[in-house]
Structure 1
Amino acid sequence: MAARSEHRILITGGTGFVGSFLIDRLESDEGRGCGIVAPGLGEAPGIDICDADAVDRLVRDARPTAVVHLAAVAAPAEAASAPGRAWDVNLTGTRNLATAVLQHAPDARFVYAGSSDAYGASFIDTERPLPETTALQPMNVYAATKAAADVMIGQMAYGGLNAVRFRPFNHTGPGQSDAYVVPSFARQVARIAAGRADPVVRVGNLDVERDFLDVRDVVRAYAVAALGGLPRQPGLVFNLATGRPASLRHMLDTLIALAGVDVAVEVDPARVRPADIPRTWGDAERARRQLGWSPSIPLEETLGDVLAYWMNEP
């Protein structure tokens, strides 16, 4: 294991929502002394993760001690509208990166950011939060691409890749695009509070329950994995979850109460998913036991921070 001052961490997707929080985390006291390589950030040129030769050169030149792979087509709606692109980025791009790491940095820790969406149909009719041993049964394009890449990285770990896979449950925070449900609610409520929109919030199915995390808790787990503290062994996979699902109705009601506004709620058929799982929730005991990780930021605090971000929207 490299000394802390020798850590050099390559981050794909470093310019995105999660990536920006991870870089902040690594630049804090916890990651003091580590070098960060993030294509597209600052003066660093960007990279097409689907270009195998470019990815190979990136890894060869970066000489990372750890790679955190965040780059993805991450919005389910975007993946559904362009499935070919989603498969290219989420599966082929991941393979390109993992292959280059095996070739040029075989000792580097490969941190793969997967998704709890990969569990898909396994959530149906379950009476308990799902552990990592649960079957992956994806129900949409995005989930299928993430499940396929998850399985591939697991297989490559048996071929020598120093990998750890994460399956984070829904996570949000200030700065996330309103293409996602919580920022969508928060932006609508903030605009109403500012007198910039009619007092109507348009929603999908509010009765579904989701296991929501704060992005700052999620990147804390990624940082631990990238900076050391885990054995090198195949099969390392961790859920990141609270085990306490909350309904979207509760989240919207909380945002409305925080803003102190009176609104009408209107169901928009375009926002209702045709195959919405009633409840998703996860068991993160393995992460607690092996990583010393557990969520620390209450949902209400996260919602307040997301609302505050949109209240300050230009």
Structure 2
Amino acid sequence: MPREHRLLITGANGFVGTWLQRELETRRLQGGIDLTVLTAGHGATSVLMADVSDKHQAMELIDTSRPSAIIHLAAIAAPSDARKAPDRAWDVNFRGTMNLAYAAMELAPDACFIFAGSSEAYGASFIDKAGAPVDEDTALKPMGVYGATKAAADMLLGQLAYEGLKTIRFRPFNHTGPGQTDAYVVPAFAKQIAEIEAGLRSPTLSVGNLSGFRDFLDVRDVVRAYADAALADSGADVLGKAFNLSLGQPTQIRQILDLLVELSGLQVNVEIDPLRLRGSEVPTASGQNHAAFTAFGWKPKIELRNTLNDVLTEWRQRVQSR
């Protein structure tokens, strides 16, 4: 008989959580998996409601669901939102992770705790490495509130692994795809282009710093890694360890913009908006992905151009639906 999988997803209604649910449903329909997905979040479509920053609610969530694996996505996910509300970012991103981890150790000790961390945790180490891809042994030196909360939660889970928590820590690099809000760079460009096409704005794109290089992934590749880890019978060679999810080949933000404009066929002007500039910028952020490939056979599959085309197509639909 196949092993029963009861997967609890926190932050299930968010951008990544929505795609993860689709990935898991596809696998369930393909057959051969006894799979139950329990969704936790603030939206009406979630099966379970909980504020993970509240210890009692986190305990109740684990006690009610009794999962075989927890995929912890709940977070203040946009760095700009974390900067504006640092108290809430620390409450959700760090304390929420701590509450869930301790609840899992007490009430579901056999459950695998899969953590969606962030490459932002590396921070100044990207500068130290002078653009070379970082590996999982690279020091965590966050430079912003969001990165700091994720780094702290990452380190906490690494410590709790020595106390028996069955955890896998992922550090995904920049990922995008259809459904992402315009608080992020790719959909911010795509939204403006779609509005120009629809005649809703002048042919001028308002942008921030275009000189940086980032390691871009498709969200659908990222959720494959989460699903693989949640459904695997992970052993000591994986549990307690951290894994980058990255392409290993950074792309300049300017090239992202150029590709989107090329896909649109528009002639546009580009204008720097000081409000879109951040105080501290990392010139190049890139990561090695050898560990994730060795452990899970994971590697990115979706070409960047295809990702950008899908994002632009979705924003065209959003704009037209107005």
The answer to whether 1:209 aligns with 2:229 is no
Aligned counterpart for 1:311 among listed residues 303, 313, 316 = 316
What amino acid sits opposite 1:256 in the alignment?
V
The answer to whether 1:44 aligns with 2:47 is yes
Q: Which runs of 5 or more structure 1 residues have no equivalent in the other structure?
A: none
Name which of structure 1's ranges 280-289 and 224-233 shifts more when overlaid on structure 2: 224-233
Q: Which runs of 5 or more structure 2 residues have no equivalent in the other structure?
A: none
- Paired with 1:43 and 1:164, the residues of 2 have a C-alpha distance of 24
CA offset digits 1:215-273 (Å, max 9, x no partner): 00000000010001421465311000001100110000100110111110000001011
- Paired with 1:24 and 1:133, the residues of 2 have a C-alpha distance of 32
The answer to whether 1:62 aligns with 2:65 is yes
Alpha-carbon offset, residue 180 of structure 1: 0.5
Aligned counterpart for 1:91 among listed residues 91, 94, 108 = 94
Superposed CA RMSD? 1.4
The answer to whether 1:160 aligns with 2:169 is no
What amino acid sits opposite 2:110 in the alignment?
D
- Paired with 1:43 and 1:129, the residues of 2 have a C-alpha distance of 37
What amino acid sits opposite 1:139 in the alignment?
M
What amino acid sits opposite 2:267 in the alignment?
D
- Paired with 2:160 and 2:128, the residues of 1 have a C-alpha distance of 32
The answer to whether 1:128 aligns with 2:102 is no
Q: Structure 1 residues 229 and 43 mapped into 2: Cα distance closer, same or farther (>3 Å)?
A: closer
Assess if the C-alpha contact under 8 Å between 1:173 and 1:305 holds in 2: yes
Aligned counterpart for 2:276 among listed residues 271, 293, 300 = 271
Assess if the C-alpha contact under 8 Å between 1:229 and 1:291 holds in 2: no
- Paired with 2:135 and 2:86, the residues of 1 have a C-alpha distance of 28
Alpha-carbon offset, residue 55 of structure 1: 1.2
CA offset digits 1:91-149 (Å, max 9, x no partner): 10000100110011100010000000000000015242100000000000000000000
- Paired with 2:109 and 2:236, the residues of 1 have a C-alpha distance of 12
2:153 maps to 149
- Paired with 1:227 and 1:107, the residues of 2 have a C-alpha distance of 13
Q: Secondary structure at the match of 1:37?
A: strand
- Paired with 2:27 and 2:138, the residues of 1 have a C-alpha distance of 36
CA offset digits 1:10-61 (Å, max 9, x no partner): 0000000000010111111267431011124526242111111111111011
What amino acid sits opposite 1:122 in the alignment?
S
The answer to whether 1:7 aligns with 2:5 is yes
Q: Secondary structure at the match of 2:223?
A: helix
1:246 maps to 251
2:34 maps to 33
1:108 maps to 111
The answer to whether 1:78 aligns with 2:81 is yes
Alpha-carbon offset, residue 290 of structure 1: 1.2
Assess if the C-alpha contact under 8 Å between 2:166 and 2:240 holds in 1: no
What amino acid sits opposite 1:27 in the alignment?
E
- Paired with 1:118 and 1:153, the residues of 2 have a C-alpha distance of 14
What amino acid sits opposite 1:295 in the alignment?
P
Assess if the C-alpha contact under 8 Å between 2:39 and 2:46 holds in 1: no
- Paired with 1:155 and 1:125, the residues of 2 have a C-alpha distance of 25
- Paired with 1:65 and 1:250, the residues of 2 have a C-alpha distance of 42
Q: Secondary structure at the match of 1:312?
A: helix
CA offset digits 1:250-304 (Å, max 9, x no partner): 0001001101111100000010111010000000001111110000001100000
Normalised by the length of structure 1, the TM-score is 0.96
Name which of structure 1's ranges 220-229 and 32-41 shifts more when overlaid on structure 2: 32-41
1:288 maps to 293
Q: Percent identity?
A: 52
Assess if the C-alpha contact under 8 Å between 1:109 and 1:164 holds in 2: yes
Normalised by the length of structure 2, the TM-score is 0.94
Assess if the C-alpha contact under 8 Å between 1:162 and 1:232 holds in 2: no
1:20 maps to 18
What amino acid sits opposite 2:9 in the alignment?
I
Q: Secondary structure at the match of 1:188?
A: helix
Name which of structure 1's ranges 121-130 and 227-236 shifts more when overlaid on structure 2: 227-236
Assess if the C-alpha contact under 8 Å between 1:230 and 1:291 holds in 2: no
Assess if the C-alpha contact under 8 Å between 1:208 and 1:248 holds in 2: yes
